[in-house]
Chains A and B, each alone.
Chain A
Amino acid sequence: MKCTRCKATAHVALPSHHSGFCKDCFPLFFTRQVETAIRREKMFTHDERILVALSGGKDSLALMLELHLQGYDVTGLHIDLGIPGSSDKARAKVERFSEKHGLKLEVFEMEKWGLPIPDVKAHVRRPVCAVCGKMKRHHFNRIAVEGGYDALATGHNLDDEVARLFANTLRWDTAYLSDQGPVLPASDGFVRKVKPLFRLSEFETANYAFLKGIEIHSDPCPYATGASFTGHKELWGELEHRSPGQKLQFYQSFLKNGKPAFAAVERETGAELKPCAECGSPTSAGTCSVCRIRAAVRESKAKAEA
């Protein structure tokens, strides 16, 4: 196979785009896709400050590097979850990466904040990943708001978005279906959230990461119970194989035809949000669930030690 652009030997074949690219032209294709996403969805401008959530996975690192190369004002934010044998490795990887490329990085430590994830595992009865995810979203948003950032960017790719949309559709979860998308506008207490990789598949992001020398390997979290949505992703891999391009089409048709209808329903029935009594983050309860979980763990630990 020859590169669609320069006719050299291709290194990446892309059936959904009826094309293939060599190692030098593929990153240009990737850049175009990110540019299109940012422009069409009006994600942010070169005058704005962007906070990028960096888990240490290939998607978040690829996003950070690409936005930096495009000249955006980006700062990375890594949350150290305090999980022995895994968090230290993820953190070191993010720090190495940031140093190598000369990128700004902030690290927030759950342990210092009083709630390392192992304490959640030990003292909270709900599934640890649900609480952990909630904590991460809370702090990403809070730090973005407090730091005066214009947008919070995450590395979600097309496969993540389609798998999530598919899961929400299977449950007809109108609340989630009303605001899932590549851009969530800012509202009281919430920073604007954007997903600049939403047009790119996991395969495309992995190729980009490989060609840019980003470590693709990450040590799995010991609490992971098999990745969420893996089954849905496999199903969609089959559909995409049979009709290339279907994933992006499913997602874009949802944005155009499905989402507005769900948003209209939510406007009628959605809950009203007020600042949390303790931390000021928006919540429909008096004290937000993150603050309540932290208090409950503190109490449970005090009891265990008494």
Chain B
Amino acid sequence: MITVNLEPDGTVVELPDTRSVHAVLNKLRLRFTMALVVRNGELLTPDRKLKDGDVLMVRKVTSAG
């Protein structure tokens, strides 16, 4: 299970059977350049592999004006 803290919404999503950043973004229906993905303070590119129990921060970048 991957835990995703979605910002700026402030919601938490749990994703089963998700093994890469690419897959996380697809499940959230986000294009690569629409969000930052961070694990333990480190930015991740879409090809990075994930392991069970990973906690991610996914921040959409489109600012509100």
Residue among B8, B31, B33, B46 making CB contact with A217, cutoff 8 Å: B8
A203 touches B63 (CB 8 A): no
Shortest distance between the CB of A100 and any CB in chain B (Å)? 19
Q: A207 near B: Cβ within 8 Å?
A: yes
Shortest distance between the CB of A25 and any CB in chain B (Å)? 12
B34: which A residues are within 8 A, CB to CB?
Answer: 203, 237
With both beta carbons as reference points, the residue of chain B lying nearest to A157 in the complex is identified as B63
Shortest distance between the CB of A64 and any CB in chain B (Å)? 16
B62 touches A233 (CB 8 A): yes
Residue among B32, B36, B42, B64 making CB contact with A206, cutoff 8 Å: B36
Residue among A59, A206, A238 making CB contact with B59, cutoff 8 Å: A206
Interface residues in A226-284 (C-beta closer than 8 Å to B): 226-228, 230, 233-234, 237-238, 240-241
B43 touches A202 (CB 8 A): no
The distance in angstroms between the C-alpha atoms of A150 and B65, with both chains bound, is 26
The distance in angstroms between the C-alpha atoms of A10 and B48, with both chains bound, is 10
B31: which A residues are within 8 A, CB to CB?
Answer: 237-238, 241
B46 touches A13 (CB 8 A): yes
Q: A180 near B: Cβ within 8 Å?
A: no
Residue among B33, B38, B62 making CB contact with A15, cutoff 8 Å: B33
Q: A23 near B: Cβ within 8 Å?
A: yes
Q: B17 near A: Cβ within 8 Å?
A: no
Q: A220 near B: Cβ within 8 Å?
A: yes
The distance in angstroms between the C-alpha atoms of A59 and B63, with both chains bound, is 9
B64: which A residues are within 8 A, CB to CB?
Answer: 218, 220-221, 224, 226-227
Interface residues in B16-65 (C-beta closer than 8 Å to A): 31-34, 36, 38, 42-47, 59, 61-65
Known: A1-B45, A13-B45, A210-B38. A230 touches B62 (CB 8 A): yes
The distance in angstroms between the C-alpha atoms of A152 and B18, with both chains bound, is 47
The distance in angstroms between the C-alpha atoms of A12 and B31, with both chains bound, is 14
Q: B14 near A: Cβ within 8 Å?
A: no
B36: which A residues are within 8 A, CB to CB?
Answer: 203, 206-207, 210
Q: A58 near B: Cβ within 8 Å?
A: yes
Residue among B8, B45, B61, B63 making CB contact with A11, cutoff 8 Å: B45
With both beta carbons as reference points, the residue of chain B lying nearest to A234 in the complex is identified as B62
With both beta carbons as reference points, the residue of chain A lying nearest to B62 in the complex is identified as A233
Known: A13-B46, A210-B38. A227 touches B63 (CB 8 A): yes
B residues apposed to A, CB below 8 Å: 7-8, 31-34, 36, 38, 42-47, 59, 61-65
Ordered by A's residue number, 17 sampled pairs between the chains whose C-beta atoms are within 8 Å are A11-B45, A12-B43, A13-B47, A15-B32, A20-B45, A23-B43, A57-B63, A57-B65, A202-B61, A202-B62, A203-B36, A205-B61, A210-B36, A210-B43, A218-B64, A221-B65, A226-B64
Question: Which 3 A-B residue pairings sit nearest by Cβ, starting from the closest?
Answer: A11-B43, A206-B61, A203-B33
